[in-house]
Every structure is written in C-alpha cells, then in structure tokens.
Chain A
Amino acid sequence: MAKELSRDELLELYRQMVLIRRFEEKSAELYAEGKIGGFLHLYIGEEAIAVGGCKAMRPTDHMFTAYRDHGWAIARGLDPKAVMAELLGKATGVSGGKGGSMHLASADHRYWGGHAIIGGHLPLATGVGIEIRYNEKPDAVLCVLGEGTTNIGYFHESINLAAVWKLPVVFLVENNQYGMGTVVGKASAVSEIYTKGCAYDIAHRQIDGQDVFDTYKIIGEALDLAREEGPVLLEAMTYRFVGHSMGDPERYRTKAEIEEWRSRDPILRLAGKMTEMGMFTEEDAEKIAKSVEEELVEIVKFAEESPEPDDAALCEHVFVNPMGHQ
C-alpha cells in the first residue's frame, strides 16, 4: 500500500518534476542548435506520471517505456548527465551513444528501455513477468505505453497472455489525447481506454495523470495487485504541452485547448496542494529552481565535454559471442 508522503519526499517529487521540465526545455534548445540528432519527443506536461510512478516502484521492480522516455529515465534514478550525454550521442551516454533519445536504458535500474516501435515493448515486459513467476520473485513490471498503442495487435496479445498466465505486469497507458496528430476517438473504437481491460477480465482504472498524489498512490496499488494476482491496466489522463516531436506543426489541436490543459500543470498543481497543506512557500520554489538550474549547467557541461564513442564501438555488441557457441 502507498504510504503518506512526507514533506521531504513531496519536495523531492516536486524537484524531480522541475528537473525533468527544465531538462526537456534545455533538450529542445540543444536540438535547435543541432547538437541532438534524430527525433526528440518531450515529456513536458506529463511529469507527474513518471515521478509518481517511479516513487511507487520498488528498486527491484522492472520498467519498460515507449520512446517518450527522458522523464521516466530521470525519475527512475538514471544519472541525468548520462541521459543528456545519450541525447548528444556520447560514449558516456546511458546506451553508449548507440541508442539515442528513444532508446535509454539502465540494466542497473532494471529499466529495460526506451522502445521506439509502437507496442514492441509490451511482449518484452510480459516476458519479464514470466521470469518473475518462473523464479517466484516478489517483483512487478511497470510497462508504460501511449494510448495509440492500445489499438495495435501486440497490446491485445500481451495483455491476453499476461492475463492467462497471471503475470505481474502493470500496463500503464499515458493518454495524452493524441497519437501523433490523431485524436483518440478517431483511432480507437473505445474512447475510455482503461475499459479495454474488461476484454481480458483484468483490473482496470483511470487516473488523473496531472496529479502526482494520484499517480503515486494508484500506480503503487496496481503494482501490488499485479504482484499478488496478475496484470492491471491503468489509464493516466494527461497532455503534452508541446508537439509530438520537434517540428510538429500542431495543426490538429487549438491554442485554447493547450491553454486549458496548461492550467492543469502538474508542477503548479503539486505546489498548490503543498501550499494548502502548509508545506510549501515561494522560497521553496525559488530554492529548488536555483538548484535545478545549477544541476542543469552541470548536466549540459558533462554531456558536451564527453567524448564521442570510439570507432571500435561501431562493431561492438552486435553479438555477445560473434563466433557463436563453440
């Protein structure tokens, strides 16, 4: 069961959200400067899900995400310096500069990626669930996906198998209302995504993804339910305040809609609640903002000053054993 969070813990969650927000804004700048290549999908607006979710996980739990993964990586405890270094394609990046923005991972944190093929990580998460049951471990898997992924075959195949075998996997949908530029109702026959859990007779629930109290508590309960019984489907209602990726012309939504959602900013919401609880002042906000800015300078400095991967890295890790078992 999720326990009540102390003031220090809440301040830490607040700081993580601010760090992720500023990390993403800085990434956008570095992308504009041409220092980050490929695609860049920012997590701005959705921070409360990763921060609450990771707070609810045990260190031994496993995690998979889709490609909007910077926020999850940081919330899970990966070094933000190494995350930024990965975005810059550096040898010190979490994936050695070979994965990029969409392919962050850390075996030490049981964070198995960062996956960019829609739905591809759902069977992988299901498979980790197999290992947990096989070895009778107390762990669970948090598998994060977008609402657009709930229309692909992998979603149904994975949840069905997880349900038949009662695997400890929480499938957490981040419903940010659009799969790229396609609104939910145009892509899914069922608009209330969490009700898709009915089809597999598994526990399912909707969460306010802008509220870190909600995400922490309910994701935590879902992980425990998954450990005890089997898969759970959660739908966190959220919104990305910026485009799908850099260079999104955003023709599919109105400024008014964006403004309306911006009024539900998860960082401001937590600050407001803590203020009401008498735990937070303007001074706290300023202090945290300052410390985040200092950290951000270090993060960027580390990433920019880090070396490129060696030429030899090109051909490393194609196979564990290039010659095959002899």
Chain B
Amino acid sequence: MTRMTVREAISQALREEMYRDERVFIMGEEIGKWGGTYAVTRGFLDEFGEKRVKDTPIAEGVIVGAATGAAVAGLRPVAEIMTINFLFLAMDALVNHAAKLHYMFNGQMKVPLVVRTVGGGGRQLGATHSQTPDAIFAHFPGLKVVAPATAADSKGLLKAAIRDDDPVLFIEHATLYQSKGEVPDDEDFVVPIGVSDVKRAGKDVTIVSYSKGLQLSLEAAEKLEKEGIDAEVIDLRTLRPLDTRPVVESVKKTNRMVVVEEGWRAYGVGAEVASRVTELAFDYLDAPVRRVAQAEVPLPYNRRLEQMALPQVPDIINAVKDVMYLK
C-alpha cells in the first residue's frame, strides 16, 4: 500500500495502463504540453510522446466522436474533457454514438472508450462551470458511468474502465484531487465496475452516496457517532450499472435511508436509489427516504450563496435525524 492523492492515483492508473497496453492513448485539451488543467497528465508527453499523448483543438464533439471512431477501429482511447460542463457539447457523440453503436449494429462494433472528465461545484466558478449533472449521463443504456471518491477506487476503477470493452464515462470531482488514501501497489489492482461498497459499517441508518457526497457522508457519520448514532455509509462508485444490493441489504438492517448527492435533487441519483429501495425493500422502511442534494438553482458565484446551495455535513445530519424521528 502507498498513501497518495486522488490525483496521483488517477495519474498512476493511466500511466500503468499505457505501459501495459500499446493500444491505450490519451487525447484532449491541454493534456500534453500543459500537463492537464488538473495536472493529472503532467509529464506524460515527455514520457510517451505525441503519438500517445494528443493535444486536441477545443472541439469537444470531435474529441469524443473521434475517440469513439478510434475505439471502433481497435484502439483504446482515453479522451479527456476538461470539465463535465463542456461534455454537453459532445453529448451527441457520447450518447447517440458511443453508447449506441454496439447495440444498433447488433454487436458488430465495440467501443472500448473512456471519457475522463471533472465535475462538481464549490470553487466559485459560476453557474456554467460548477455542475454535477452525473445523473443525466447515467440515464442512457449503453454508457457506463463511474464516479469514485477515494484514491484506491479512483485508481482501480480507472484501470477497470480502460480494460472494459464498453464506453465508460469516468467522472472525477474537482475538490477531491487532493484527498489522500491508501492504494494497493499491485499493477493489476482493479476495482470492478458496477459494484457498490460499504465504506463504513453501521446499524442505525443507511447513508448512500458517491463521489464528493461520500466524503461529506463519512464526516457526517463521524459526528453522528458522537451523538450515539451508528450510520452505515455506502459508496455507489458506479452509477450505471447501478448495484443496489448492498443498499437493500443495509436498509433491511437499519430500516432508514438518506441519499446524498451533490447534483440537483429532481430526477437525480437519489431519486433513482430511493425508488429502487421502495420497489425492493418497501416493507423494511420505517421512515420515508430523505434526499440531500443541491438547491434547485444554477450555482451562484458568491461564496456564501454557493455554499448555501451545495449539500453540507449539517444537512446530512439533519436528514438522518429526520428519518430517525429524533427532531
């Protein structure tokens, strides 16, 4: 095990996979000379050369579309879209093409594509640069969506995504890059796509989250422990295919659930998880499921207003107390 940041873990996963498989290459805006706007690919251009580290024009549609074409032809591209907000410009390439070619042409084409991108608010970048629209992308059959929170999961899931034969959207969070954790040293360490993980065992209440929300949920669980509440915290890690088994198992034990996500509440990840739990474990619920999510506003620039809109640890604590009827 080595202790490292999420940034280092992602970088290491990319580097190892590029050494392991000649077909893996990276392309995107400012990933080469600049080293990536979040410094994930710093040094890659010198290490691997222009053939495998391709700086692109600012043209998201063709970045994702050309990476898709290269994947169809047998390469294993990792395309970087500078932020998830710009991915809307490549929405057609991603959901109308990458996510559909395998099905629509009856299995004749495979799309072993990874699109890495960065989402999340909290850095005063204003409404268009701060979104967490993960749920939108998870809506499409044919596109896998992964959004890890920890360093180990970031490394293991990115390696799994690169080795997967399907298109995978890999969503990083802008405020988690500095977060540190223990990461296995094994070069074949992968974390399976589509498997949720219990990050903290507990018996009183189930908190389900992923990405930045997981960090907040674990903090909330620490605080709740001091008040005598033992929370189980589950990290979804993958939004499609969504693994609800550990969630249902947990709810059968705790009978109460709070879902935490940074994106908007309406039509969100929390709505999906809550709905599945009512379908699969309705009789076990002792309280309505509570969702903690972003206020239904475009994120404002002002720091105080922005923080008001984003989910916070006290919001999670309040929601937990709600479902436990402690207020």
Contact = CB atoms under 8 A, between A and B. Distances in A.
A294 interface: no
A158 B62 contact: yes
A128 B75 CA distance: 9
A98 B104 CA distance: 6
B192 A158 contact: no
A317 B107 contact: yes
A106 B108 contact: yes
Contacts of A126: 62, 65-66, 69
A296 interface: no
Residue from B70, B97, B106, B142 with most neighbouring chain A CB atoms (10 Å): B106
Interface string A266-298: 000000000000000000000000000000000
A84 interface: no
Nearest to B25: A134
B68 interface: yes
A319 B101 CA distance: 10
B124 interface: no
Contacts of A157: 57, 59, 61-62, 65
A96 B188 CA distance: 37
Interface in A97-132: 97-99, 103, 105-107, 112-115, 117, 120-132
B192 A325 contact: yes
Contacts of A326: 160, 190, 192-193
Contact of A120 (B71, B72, B96, B165): B96
A325 B109 contact: no
A38 interface: no
Interface in B279-311: none
B165 A153 contact: no
Interface residues of A, number: 48
Given A62-B73, A324-B160, A326-B192, A154 B96 contact: no
Given A95-B105, A98-B103, A105-B108, A127 B59 contact: no
Contacts of B106: 95-99, 317
Contacts of B73: 62, 127-128, 130-132
Contacts of B181: none
Contacts of A62: 73
Interface in B242-292: none
A305 B8 CA distance: 59
B13 interface: no
Contacts, number: 166
Nearest to A152: B61
Contacts of A107: 105, 108-109
Interface residue tally of chain B, by bracket? Answer: 35 or more
B31 interface: no
A10 interface: no
A95 B104 contact: yes
Interface string B155-190: 000001101111000000000000000000000001
B72 A123 contact: no
B57 A123 contact: no
Interface string B230-247: 000000001001000000
Given A123-B69, A130-B69, A130-B75, A321 B109 contact: no
Contacts of B102: 317-320
A120 to B, nearest CB: 6
A107 B190 CA distance: 31
A158 B97 CA distance: 15
Interface string A290-326: 0000000000000000000000000011111111111
B141 interface: yes
Contact of B192 (A128, A160, A324): A324
A106 B164 CA distance: 23
Contact of A320 (B74, B161, B166): B166
Interface string B46-59: 00000100101101
A320 B74 CA distance: 14
B202 interface: no
Contacts of A5: none
A251 to B, nearest CB: 30
Contacts of A317: 102-103, 106-107
B105 A105 contact: yes
A97 B106 CA distance: 8
B319 interface: no
A161 interface: yes
A282 B163 CA distance: 60
Given A161-B56, A324-B238, A123 B64 contact: yes
Closest 6 CB pairs of A and B: A127-B69, A123-B65, A324-B193, A96-B106, A131-B73, A124-B69
29 contacts: A95-B105, A95-B106, A96-B106, A96-B107, A98-B103, A99-B106, A107-B108, A112-B69, A121-B97, A122-B62, A123-B69, A124-B66, A126-B65, A126-B69, A130-B66, A131-B73, A157-B57, A158-B65, A160-B62, A161-B59, A165-B54, A318-B102, A319-B102, A319-B142, A321-B166, A324-B160, A324-B164, A324-B195, A325-B163
Interface of A: 62, 95-99, 103, 105-107, 112-115, 117, 120-132, 134, 153-154, 157-158, 160-161, 164-165, 316-326
Interface of B: 25, 51, 54, 56-57, 59, 61-62, 64-75, 77, 92-93, 96-97, 101-110, 141-142, 144, 160-161, 163-166, 190, 192-195, 238, 241
